[in-house]
Structures are given as structure tokens and as C-alpha cells.
Structure 1
Amino acid sequence: MNWEQPAAALAAAVTHPASRWRGPVAGIPRHRFVPRWWHRGPDGWTRHDGRADPEQWQAAAYADRSVITSVAGQHADLAEDDDHPTGRPTSSATLPSLVVRMFQHARLGDDDELLDVGTGSGYGAALAAYRLGERQVTSVDVDPYLVDAARERLAGICLSPRLETVDATGELPGTFDRIVATVAVRPIPASWLAALRTGGRLVTTLAGTSLIVTAEKQPDGGAKGVIEWDRAGFMHARHDAGDYPPGVGELLDAARDAVSDDVTISPYPVVDVANAWDLASMLDLAAPGIEHHYSEDGEHRVALMAHPDGSWARASGRGDRLPTVYQGGPRRLWALLDDVRGYWLHHGELPVRGSRVFIKPDGTTTLARGKWHVRLTPT
């Protein structure tokens, strides 16, 4: 494949001309890291093999989008053409612009030693090794197959950063000046603080939200930072290769037709919560683990919510008219959402974006802005 030209075009699209990341994006053959992948269409997940269709391979690899390489733990590399897994994506090559932005949030210096949390395809580790030098980059993932495949693909382009198979929420292999995670955690693992050198900087997202945390290690072993105004969404960190969240798909399906005596009229129109990132993030801080579904049929709009504790909600309405809301289970999920929307209208904005972040050595994480604050504690 003639990859140099599409890689240069990708670099021009995701970096500015003076960026130190332009050279890495232009110089790394991304297609080598995604030889096979999953694509979700109307009939579910289907497998694509790049060597069978080089034109499609190039289009997928050099677009600024994520390429799904594993679904429900089934790697596209190891699957058959007629396999059709069901479930959630469990690994991907993250869209290059987001990988670059996460590294930029880290404010990497030329001499910094970096821990890349979430090896995945290995593409992010390749960019970092190209930028810093392979001896300054360690990359970890919980899935041994991903680590082995990434190591082989990196070697194929003459890069050999250190790769390790570990649960990134546990003990880490060394100490570092920068930790950048392309998996989401909640709260910040204590092991990250232990592995981060004083004055070092970590960059991650909070699981269930689009919130990017950047924080510097303090002499007392904790860290201080902010929630960036930027946004990102990553898969949750897993504790082992087979640790996949079960989801609440059946409860969401049941919520479509469920009957409840708790019927109210919401003061706000139906909203697609999952695509209202700040709203979804605030809601998840109040009630972690809610899943959403939204549909439109002409003017008719329906939003579903479900939580693993058995709570569910269904809101339906036409256009911007106030919707009828049905709720069941131990908590009233739509009422929690209305509380967040009410706060937004009363105060003019939601407080979480731009809030200060305080992390204790044990990982207890507090977000605070003005009179608002929330504390995330280790379980």
C-alpha cells in the first residue's frame, strides 16, 4: 500500500504545521496496526480484512476516526469472516486527533518518560515512541493478545517501546514523568499517583463521562489539576482480559413498553442524553452506570434510561412539547436528569467543565467549582 500520502494528509488534518505531532502522524503507517477490524451496520457487526480490499483498508486506516478491533472480547484478527459478535466494542485504534490531543494535554517534554495506559492497537504507543524515542515510552494493556500483537506490529516498523500486560488500575511497571490514559477510570487509581514522579502530570478521562482530568503530582503524594474544557470518551479500564461490563440492554428493551404507576409530565422536552455530553457527564456523576437510548419517528421522540439497580425511565413527546415520563425501580432516573437540567437553567451553565480537581494519595478524587463539589471515592 502507498500509505505515505494518506498519512501525510491525515497529519495535515489533525495537527497544525508547527506541531511536534505532525511528523509522528505522517510517519507512522496506521494501517499496519489495524489489518482487520469490525464495522457496525444495520445488521450488526461485520468483519473486514484489509488485505482483501486494500482501498477500503486505506480509507479506514487514514480517516480521523476510531477503528474497532475487538467486540465483546472477540478480536477481529482472530475471527472468521462469517462471525457476527454481539455486544460492545472492547478495543479500538482511537481516532488520531484524539490521541494527539491527549498527548498534548500531557505537555510532554523531550526528556519525559511516558506511561501510555491502554495499548490497544499500538498506534498511540507508536506515535509516542516516534516523538520521544522508544526508550522513553512504556505502554500497558490488560489484554495479552493486544500487547503481543502491538509488540509485533511496532517491531515491524522498527520501534520497540516497552510493552507490558498488566491491570493498569493495579501496580504499574516503573515510575514516570507523564501518564496518559486512553481508557477511562473512576476514581484515579492510587497506583497512578504512586508511579507518577513529583511534579509529573497525568491525563485521563473519568469513566462514564466525557471529562478529561489533567493533574500534577504534589509533594504530599496527591495531585491537583482541572477538568479540561476539551471532551473525550473512552472505554472503561478492565481488570482482566475477560472483564466485560454486562450492560442493561434487556432492561432498556423492557423500558420501551413497561407500565408504571409513576407517570409525570417533565418540565423539559425529550433530550438525547448520550449526545448531550455535558448533561450526560453531570448525570453520571450523580448516578453512575445509567445507559440511554433515543429515537425519533417524525415529530415523535422517545428517550429510555436504565440502570443496573433495576431503575428505568421512558420519556415520550412530540417535538418540543413537554413529554410524558414513566419511571420504575428503586430510583427515579428522569427526575435526576430534570434536576441537572434545572441546575443548568438556574445557574446558566453546568459546573463540572473547568472545575478544579483534588486527588488524594489513595485516589479519592474531588471535583469543585464555586459552591458545587462532588467526591469520587475508591470502592
Structure 2
Amino acid sequence: MSSTQNERSRVADAMIRSSCTDDSPNYCDFWLSSCDLPPPPPIEFAFLPLEVTVTRKDVDIIKLTAQFVAVYGMYFRRAMTKRVLENPLFEFVKPTDSRNHFYSELCLGYLSVLKPSQKLKPSQKLITGVDATGEVVDGFFKLLDELLAKQHPEDGLEMALTDFHAFEYFANVEQTVVHLPPEILSKMMKLKLSHNGLLSGKNNSESTSSMASNVNNARFSSSGAQVLATDDDAPECRDLWPLYCNLPPHPPIEFAFLPLEVTVTRKEVDIIKLTAQFVAVYGMYFRKAMTKRVVENPLFEFVKPTDSRHDFFAELCLAYLSVLKPSQKLKPSQKLVTNVDATGEVLDGFFKLLDQLLAKQHQEDGPEMALTDFHAFEYFANVEQTVVHLPPEILSKFLKRELLRKSQNQTLGMMSPAPPNPTHAQ
């Protein structure tokens, strides 16, 4: 039985024990029937096809492209494909190329672990009046040029930081995304439809570009609140809009660097990267358990605040938080639902990956070393498939049951008789 099926069985048993069928039979019937569903196929992308010969340069270009496609989606993919149509470095985007399957699997793999960007979504173009596709494509090719400039054998340590530059770009571009309350966004959508004549049913002579310019001006001016919201229909929008226009810019996120005064090896960087990735994905529960286990391990001196590499590790944890999807595996709700604390399981997975990493440290900076992060990301994706997602009604039932159990235990503890006094017994 797979781990996913085990999780479902544990949840089904817990639901039966809690007699939730009395309160929400429809949800329980649905869940119990879903316990028999086949587990999802494993996500695999930490490999290179045996029949395909690729260089380190090929792998790095394919990785960078797949990362951008996963983060920015079809709008980026279309624009990028048009620009590289005749570029021999990008033959892998063609379905007839032997590397295309590897590239496609990598795009799907990154989709499961990297946070998707909102930068090229239609809502952003509506809000800002600007199509940022060209800006993102230019950013991609700038990173590609930097990558190609570092394709030298002696750059082993620097090559270990290749993904940092792309992830740093993703994090900082995402900070330029404008997040508006639904009320304002809805108002802007109505404004656009009105300008296009779709609400009134009339043809509108104003061009789309002119309308976009008006919306863009409204975005950057507090007077835009008068256009986008009125006292009669959405007064709260008028009050909120100036706040969004006057917010100070976010400080840049930086993690494509190493402190100049700190000397580190490729091995140290790879261990710090792996640890920071797990901390970012699994959070404080993993970090506490991991720190206890490695307290005497010389490979993990960097987790101590007194170590010269600690700041680099801490900054890397924060940076990965901005680009990697957080896991639900160690959340209290999962422990409540499955009645299992998965911290030990995740910790064992971490040390297994660490052993694999150390076993490959004798290799040169070839294609296999370029796949170092793949193994961790593949692990994250497959562990997340074992997470149990319940409807709020069922999750609420579990929470009520747990609170009731704790309350009963406390009551019984207060009512238990005091132990006999030895003096009175004599």
C-alpha cells in the first residue's frame, strides 16, 4: 500500500471513530469513496534520459528555460519560443528534438515546487496598463547571457549558484506585482468592460490602448480612486486606493551572492542550499528537529549563529521562502487529520538526500552535478502528493473533536483523587 493510500486509510478510520457521518454524511461518503482512488503517479524529473547525450551547458540552459516557463506560464513560453525559433541553443523546445521530453518533464516538475508569478496575468495588465511579457523575456535572456559567460570548468563554486540568479530574479519581479482587494479589481474590470462597450451593449470608439493608459494613470494617482470607486457603489475602494499608490518599494531580495570575507567550498554550498530549501519548504517544525540532530555534526556548523556562514544560510532560507511553495505536510492540521507526526519522515528524507549529495561530491562539474537541486525538488513534489486536503466542514469536525478530547482530559485530570497521605495511613 502506498503512503498516499495509508494517509487516506488513517483519515477514514479517524472519521469513523469521530462519528462524523452523523453531522455531514455527504462529505464523509465522498471521502470514504475517495480512499479507494489510485494514488497519483510519482513526479520524476531528477534524471537525464539514458539515450540522450547532453552537456553541462545544455542542462543549464534547459533548466533556466523550464524555470521561467513554470513561473511565468504560457504568455512567456509563447513569446520566448518565437524569439528563439532559429537559435541552435534552443532546439530542445521543438517536439522533434531528443531533449524535448526531458525539457517538458522539467517544466512540469518545476510547476509543482516553484511559486507561480502573477506578473503576466491579465489582471496585472488591467491594473498597470502594461504588458510585462517583453520585460520578463528580456530578463530571461540577460540571465542566459550571464550563464553562458560562466561556462568554464574552473567555475565549480560559481556554477553551484546558477539557480540563485534566476530565483533572485523571480523574487524581485514578484515584488513589483500589484495586489489589489477584490472590490477595486472588480471595479477596474467593470471600467474596462464599459470602455469596450460590453456593459452597455454599444460600440465604443475609444481604443484599448487609450483605455489601458487611463487605468494605468489611475493606478499611480490617488485621484484614480474617484474614477474606480464612488461613494454610491464602493466607498471602501476610494479609501484604500491611495494607500496602494503610496506604498514604499520593497527592499530587494538578494541571495545570488557569497560574503566576500567567507571562504566556502562547493561541498559546503551544496549542503547549505539543501538545508535552506528544506527549512523554507517545511518550516520551523523541520528546522527544530534538524538542528537537534546535527548539533554535533561538523558539516552543519553553519546553523550556529556564531559561524561565519550563518548569515548566508539565514538569508538563503528567507530567499527560498519567496520562490518555493511551502509544504502542508508538517502543519498541525495534517497531524490532526492523519494522527501522525511526519517530522521524522521528512527528516529521514533530508538525510537520505544529503547522503546522495555527499556521494557525488567527487564528481566534476558535469551534467549530473547540474541536477543537484532536482533531487530535492522531486522529493518536495512527491511528499506533497501525500498531503490530505479536506473540505473545511470535515476539517472543522476534526478540530472540534480534538478540542473536546483535550477538554475532557483536563477535566478528568482535575477530578482525579489526590494520592493518600502517608502520615494518615499510619
TM-score by length of 1: 0.24
TM-score by length of 2: 0.22
Would you tell me which structure has more helix in proportion to its own residues? Answer: 2
Which structure has more relative contact order (CA 8 Å, sep 6+)? It is 2
Would you tell me which structure has more strand in proportion to its own residues? Answer: 1
Q: Which has the larger radius of gyration?
A: 2
